[in-house]
């Protein structure tokens, strides 16, 4: 059975940056178009998708892209068996037995969302092989979902008028992702998401972690400067900020250059992202931390 999420995402942080993107995306969804949030991991695509879906006011159907997917994982298929056994003992000396095994059809998430008018979130859809997503083409354009011949249904399922779709994807240079079909991209409106601005990252730390404004801003500055000076374009700073901020808050660490625990925490979270440049990264991080107040 597919799990339907009620529209209760975690607290969403509204800043001028997030409000601009939300307003644009919501406008497209309300006009019936699918929205595609594209950007590096850690830029808040999934959180924004959940927020947009909640604003639509419909139940949410969530799918995570998977390289093992085929079309049946989206539409449905036959699974299990229904066992039917008839025993005829009308004449006590004669026993007749008939057995019948039949597989039963089970709708998958896309079919359920299209039929019921749910809001579909297809997270990291380009981790699925392009051919697995072919069913989406007619669902988004002609508003018809093509059903397999063995579904015991009509050839097409008419898509509910309240059905909406939100997609997220990572850049194609990421490991484990596929090039999205041009035909599918042509059926959605793509919003490229970069790194949030400093004010947004600070407010997210304050809201989700409970840090003070000054401490949140110090962490954001250190992480962003580390990332940019090493040109770590595939490692946005928000996820690292949240890791550091949560441990600081829960273990009452001082955000200070004189705190050995805070320095070790920053090193543990950030240096692995430097890859083969760990020596250079260590020197840079120590320099950045030395600039913090004592």
CA distance 59 to 91: 56
Q: Where are the alpha helices (DSSP H) in the chain?
A: 16-30, 45-56, 71-75, 109-116, 135-141, 182-185, 198-204, 213-229, 237-250, 260-270, 278-290
What pLDDT is stored for residue 175 in this prediction? 72
Question: What's the mean pLDDT in 174-184?
Answer: 86
Per-residue pLDDT averaged across 164-171, rounded? Answer: 93
- Give the 3-state secondary structure of residue 84: strand
What's residue 30's pLDDT?
97
d(CA 8, CA 57): 10
Flag whether pLDDT at 276 surpasses 80. Answer: no
The two beta strands, 164-169 and 119-123, are parallel
Token duo for residue 43: 């830029």
Nearest to 136 by CA among 116, 162, 106, 114: 114
pLDDT in tens, 107-155: 889 999 999 999 999 999 999 999 999 999 999 999 999 887 766 667 8
In the structure, what pLDDT confidence band is assigned to residue 94 with cuts at 50, 70 and 90? low
Q: Which of 5-19, 140-154, 161-175, 196-210 has the lowest mean pLDDT?
A: 5-19
Check whether 29 has a pLDDT greater than 90: yes
Res. 7 pLDDT band, cuts 50 70 90 = very low
pLDDT of residue 172: 72
Q: By three-state DSSP, how is residue 257 classified?
A: coil
Tokens for 36, please give them. 């595609």
Q: Show me where the domains of the chain are located.
A: 4-75+107-192, 77-106, 198-290
pLDDT of residue 83: 54
Three-state SS at 218: helix
Q: What is the pLDDT of residues 281-290, one digit of tens each?
A: 999 999 999 9
Tell me the fold of 4-75+107-192: Rossmann fold (3.40.50)
Q: What is the pLDDT of residues 207-238, one digit of tens each?
A: 999 999 999 999 999 999 998 888 876 666 78
Q: List CB contacts of 145: < 8 A, sequence separation 6 or more.
A: 75, 110, 111, 114, 135, 138, 139, 156, 157, 158, 159
């Amino acid at each position: 059975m597919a799990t339907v999420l009620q529209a209760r995402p975690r607290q969403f942080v509204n800043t001028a940056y997030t409000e601009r993107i939300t307003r644009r995306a919501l406008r497209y969804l309300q006009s019936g178009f699918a929205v595609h949030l594209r950007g590096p991991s850690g830029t808040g695509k999934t959180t924004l998708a959940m927020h947009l879906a909640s604003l639509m006011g419909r139940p949410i159907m969530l799918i995570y892209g998977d390289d093992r997917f085929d079309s049946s994982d989206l539409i449905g298929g036959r699974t299990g068996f229904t066992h039917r056994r008839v025993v005829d003992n009308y004449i006590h000396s004669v026993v007749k037995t008939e057995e019948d095994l039949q597989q039963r059809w089970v709708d998958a998430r896309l079919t359920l969302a299209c039929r019921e008018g749910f809001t579909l979130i297809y997270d990291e859809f380009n981790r699925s092989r392009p051919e697995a997503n072919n069913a989406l083409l007619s669902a988004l354009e002609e508003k018809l979902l093509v059903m397999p011949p063995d579904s015991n249904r009509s050839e097409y399922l008419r898509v509910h008028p309240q059905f909406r779709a939100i997609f997220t994807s990572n850049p194609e240079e990421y490991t484990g992702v596929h090039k999205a079909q041009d035909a599918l991209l042509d059926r959605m409106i793509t919003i490229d998401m970069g790194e949030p601005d400093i004010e947004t990252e600070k407010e997210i730390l304050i809201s989700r972690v409970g840090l003070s404004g000054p401490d949140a801003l110090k962490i954001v500055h250190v992480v962003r400067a580390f990332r940019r000076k090493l040109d770590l374009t595939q490692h946005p700073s928000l996820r690292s900020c949240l890791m550091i901020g949560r441990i600081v808050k829960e273990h009452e660490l001082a955000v200070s250059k004189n705190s050995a625990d805070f320095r070790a925490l920053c090193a543990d979270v950030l240096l692995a992202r430097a890859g083969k440049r760990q020596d250079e990264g260590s020197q840079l991080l120590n320099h950045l931390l030395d600039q913090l107040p004592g």
